[in-house]
Amino acid sequence: MSVQDQQWRYTIRRPEKPTKKTVIVDFGGPGVPVLAADYLSMFRATAPAIFERYNVIALDEPWSVKEISQPCQDSLSSFYEAVRQATLDEAAKRSAALRDECELQNESRNSWGFDASSYAALLEAVEQKEDLSYVGFIGQSFGSTRLSYLSRSSLRQDLRWAILSRPFPVGASAEELFQARGAAVRQSLKDLRPDQGNPRRAADTSPGATFDRLSAEIELGYLYGDSQDEAAADVFNGVSETLTRLSGQLWQRYGEDEISPAYLAQLDELCNALGPSEVNSIDAVEDVLSAQLMPCRSAGATPTASGSLGSIPLCVSAADDDTVAPGALAKRKLESMSTETMWLDLTSAPHFPTDGVERCLAGLAQRITDTAVN
């Protein structure tokens, strides 16, 4: 559908018994292929009762339907090549070119990611078209930022409850978040292989190899189960193929040095959410995280505020040792989002947001049932 002169997509699942009451599910990201990977169908196994009682809707991110120009694609590859080789002066120049060619953070054009205005406007348009009434919100990871978008819109008045699982710490600066993530990554490496100390340094100590190793250490936090265990063993043993693969996953790389437009969606929203970040070297995981935001405009950039839900019941589940969304930082930044907040501590470190959703669904079970009935 077309909203604000831009094309958007969404998906909706309806229960057998017709109802207008609808739950918004946001899978975070940015850069998540919600429709292409059919996230909502996979989510049904996590929350079957929600699908039985309510309509369930998820929005697709705008990058998924936006064409990327060749100059923009070339600037992505050029920037990635420079930052991977740690030629930071050149990377800074190329990041400026990327910003211009891809029209990042440009209010006069269609965006790669959401902002507060477009997110609320799209949901309002869908609500009217599909004859819905929003009553609940489930946000995973960066979904906390999307909830903050709604907290500043008229849709906030309709919500009866909300859930955030492993939430992005809305309101944190880039420096705060990256310091917390860096500490969590280093602790996670010790926890994953307590008998081996620090990962073995590969024989190749070139800037590109160092970049891949640090990027791979970050990417480990997005894996879980056997996949994480196997990848961690390779990271500790310096297996170059695994380091390159994990690094590519973190940077949305495919083919040789092609970068997915999903990275542009990350920049569009993360630049606005975190503000600028300086990069002086590529020697630690914090440097790689900062390098990802090099194309952000720095002028006037300040972290997004968490917003307020008033007294709307909110359940937040988080893990202090989550390397993507450290729980302690999330608690500090989100503690005033609602006056009726239930905090649940998760014990597993991997950034696997559905485990927190299950806990919160149980914690808000009565409220969710009452909303569906009344």
Q: Are residues 78 and 56 in the same domain?
A: no
Lowest mean pLDDT among 116-125, 195-204, 280-289: 195-204
**Interatomic CA distance for residues 331 and 164, integer angstroms:** 11
Task: Write out the residue range of the structural domain in which residue 252 sits.
Answer: 70-106+173-303
Lowest mean pLDDT among 11-25, 26-40, 102-116, 328-342: 102-116
Mean pLDDT, residues 204-233 taken together: 92
pLDDT in tens, 41-92: 989 988 898 999 999 999 999 999 999 999 999 999 999 999 999 999 999 9
The more confidently predicted of residues 300 and 143 is 143
Q: Round the average pLDDT of the chain to a whole number and report it.
A: 90
Helical H segments across 24-87, by residue range: 39-43, 48-53, 70-84
Distances in Å between the Cα of 243 and the Cα atoms of 22, 37, 56, 191, 212 are: 42, 25, 38, 19, 6
State the pLDDT at residue 12. Answer: 96
- Token duo for residue 46: 């996590």
Token pair 């989100």 is found at: 334
Q: Are residues 44 and 167 in the same domain?
A: yes
Say yes or no to pLDDT of 371 above 60: yes
Say yes or no to pLDDT of 236 above 80: yes
Give the CATH number for residue 161.
Answer: 3.40.50.1820
Q: Are residues 147 and 184 in the same domain?
A: no
**Interatomic CA distance for residues 296 and 238, integer angstroms:** 32
- Token duo for residue 372: 């569906």
Torsions phi, psi for 243 (to 5 deg): -60, -45
Q: Structural domain tally of the chain?
A: 2
- Token duo for residue 223: 């894996």
Lowest mean pLDDT among 177-181, 198-202, 248-252: 198-202
76, 254 contact by CB (below 8 A): no
Q: Single out the residue in 254, 288, 303 at which a domain terminates.
A: 303
Residue 374: pLDDT band with limits 50, 70, 90: low
**Interatomic CA distance for residues 335 and 341, integer angstroms:** 8
Q: Are residues 138 and 284 in the same domain?
A: no
State the pLDDT at residue 370. Answer: 74
Considering Cα of 168, then 145, then 295, then 245, what sign does the dihedral take? Answer: positive
Q: Single out the residue in 303, 337, 363 at which a domain terminates.
A: 303
141, 353 contact by CB (below 8 A): yes
Say yes or no to pLDDT of 360 above 80: yes
325, 221 contact by CB (below 8 A): no
Q: Are residues 334 and 248 in the same domain?
A: no
State the pLDDT at residue 22. Answer: 97
Q: Single out the residue in 266, 286, 303 at which a domain terminates.
A: 303
Q: Are residues 182 and 81 in the same domain?
A: yes
**Interatomic CA distance for residues 321 and 328, integer angstroms:** 9
pTM of this structure = 0.93
Q: Are residues 152 and 37 in the same domain?
A: yes
Q: Are residues 271 and 212 in the same domain?
A: yes
Q: Are residues 221 and 153 in the same domain?
A: no
Percent of the chain with pLDDT over 70: 92
pLDDT in tens, 287-296: 999 999 999 8
Q: Within 13 A of 312's CA, how many CA atoms are on the CB side? A: 25
